[in-house]
Amino acid sequence: MEWLSNIIYYVVPFIVLLGILVFVHEFGHFIIARLCGVQVDAFSIGFGKKLWSRKDKYGTEWKLSAIPLGGYCQFLGDADGASAGVDEKVKELTDEEKKKAFPFQNPFKKLAIVLAGPLSNYVFAIVVYAAIFTFMGKVIFPPIVGDVIEGGAAQKAGMMAEDRILTINGKAISSFDDIRKEVALIDNNNMATVEILRKNEKVTLTFPVTELEYTPEGASTIKQRMLGIKSISRVEVEHQKMGFLKAIGEACRQTWDITEATLRGVGQMITGRRSSEELGGIIRIAEMSGDISKKYGCLDFLMFMALLSINLGLINLFPIPVLDGGHVVIFLLEIITGKEINSRVKDTLFKIGFSLLILLMVFATWNDVVRLFKRWFL
């Protein structure tokens, strides 16, 4: 029955996670389109064969489709759900219908509708973080060893994954950040006495802290004293609830930090300072959502959902034709020049963007397959 267990832990959470985030993204497009007077013909979660549908009184067909790997919001006059072209039948629309058709809107309205999707993902993440901080407390990464670095001081001393660090040189450790701070304060003899909790038993290790090569975000590789451990992916809550306004501020800060770190990571991949093997796709998301749901709890799943929502919003803002960011560039150019870009130029740009997107998806999927092979067979 292991296959049934894997479906429950990996497939179901993945579909739920992606379904919620796609709905949030597309609902942003949908609600602003409605406010701008644009007719939404279809709102679909998933692609391909229609499994269920219902048409509302405004003429929008709400659909669930067979392939749960995305979704779309198709407006009147669009050739497809990506607004990558104009439907040939727009010429047959009446003057009244043209007022509700997306291709006939001014670029300011188009820009607002396109931006609403990514911004909805950001708002969703802030709401999730703020709710957790308000009702539960601030989230931290606990001082639990996720992995030990080969050749590092911790490995040589016998430290193991899942060890929880209680103290370093007598100083209490409550979060993973505390480990970094205390290691930086170790005196010139470089000796660390680390008290750990391993399977409900306290163990004390004394060993010299060595230097390892480290590449801080946005900086060059340096050598730095460290234990040689990586954090675990699980999160814990400090039970100090925040006021609503403070929680909103902390949520915005968390969202900004994740956005900045993601952009730096992408920049490092482009410049070659970071391995492109770290780029993951749909399979990686399914793997991570399954691991979290199997090993941890709802809080970790919510945090992962918020993180993924930020990444989804950010990626969609990249200036690649077909993505929302590509549309943003086009509409901004139209606003600046006061002229609509030639339809043939747009078609060419969308074809290039689509090809680039497919290449990135294939590359990310290849990385995912290689990672899974190493995980299962090596």
Would you say residue 296 has pLDDT above 50?
yes
Nearest in space to 370 (alpha carbons), one of 270, 280, 273:
280
Rounded distance between C-alpha atoms, residue 141 and residue 233, angstroms: 8
Helices (H), 64-141: 95-98, 107-135
User: What type of residue is 377?
Assistant: F
Confidence of residue 137 (pLDDT cuts 50, 70, 90): confident
Nearest in space to 77 (alpha carbons), one of 62, 51, 97:
97
Q: Which fold has domain 145-233?
A: Pdz3 Domain (2.30.42)
What is the tens place of the pLDDT at every residue in 148-160?
A: 888 788 888 888 8
pLDDT of residue 1: 55
Query: What tokens appear for 27 in the block?
Result: 């609902």
pLDDT of residue 218: 42
Q: Which residue has the higher pLDDT, 62 or 81?
A: 62
pLDDT of residue 215: 53
pLDDT of residue 87: 66
DSSP helix/strand/coil, 168: strand
Decide: 209 and 188 in contact? Cβ < 8 Å.
no
Q: Which residue has the higher pLDDT, 196 or 88?
A: 196
Rounded distance between C-alpha atoms, residue 324 and residue 68, angstroms: 20
- Mean pLDDT score of the chain, rounded to an integer? 83
Helices (H), the chain: 2-6, 12-35, 95-98, 107-135, 153-157, 176-184, 244-271, 282-295, 298-316, 324-337, 343-377
Rounded distance between C-alpha atoms, residue 106 and residue 102, angstroms: 9
What is the tens place of the pLDDT at every residue in 216-230?
A: 444 445 566 777 888
Rounded distance between C-alpha atoms, residue 127 and residue 130, angstroms: 5
Q: What does the radius of gyration of the chain's CA atoms come to, in whole angstroms?
A: 25
What is the tens place of the pLDDT at every residue in 2-54?
A: 556 666 777 888 888 999 999 999 999 999 999 999 999 999 998 889 999 99
Bridge partners of 208, per DSSP, are 191
Rounded distance between C-alpha atoms, residue 63 and residue 183, angstroms: 54
Which residues are tagged catalytic? 26
Which residue in the block uniquely carries the two structure tokens 């609902």? 27
Rounded distance between C-alpha atoms, residue 162 and residue 156, angstroms: 16
Decide: 320 and 259 in contact? Cβ < 8 Å.
no
Rounded distance between C-alpha atoms, residue 351 and residue 322, angstroms: 8
Domain boundaries, the chain: 2-36+105-136+286-377, 145-233
Q: Phi first, then psi: give them for residue 52, nearest 5 degrees.
A: -155, 145
- Whole-model pTM: value is 0.78
Provide the 10 A C-beta neighbour count for residue 96. 7
Decide: 330 and 353 in contact? Cβ < 8 Å.
no
Query: What tokens appear for 293 in the block?
Result: 């749901």
Question: Residues 6 or more apart from 190 whose CB is under 8 A from it?
Answer: 208, 209, 210, 225
What is the tens place of the pLDDT at every residue in 157-177?
A: 888 888 898 998 888 888 777
Q: Is 140 exposed, middle or buried (0-12, 13-18, 19+ CB in 10 A)?
A: middle
pLDDT of residue 317: 93
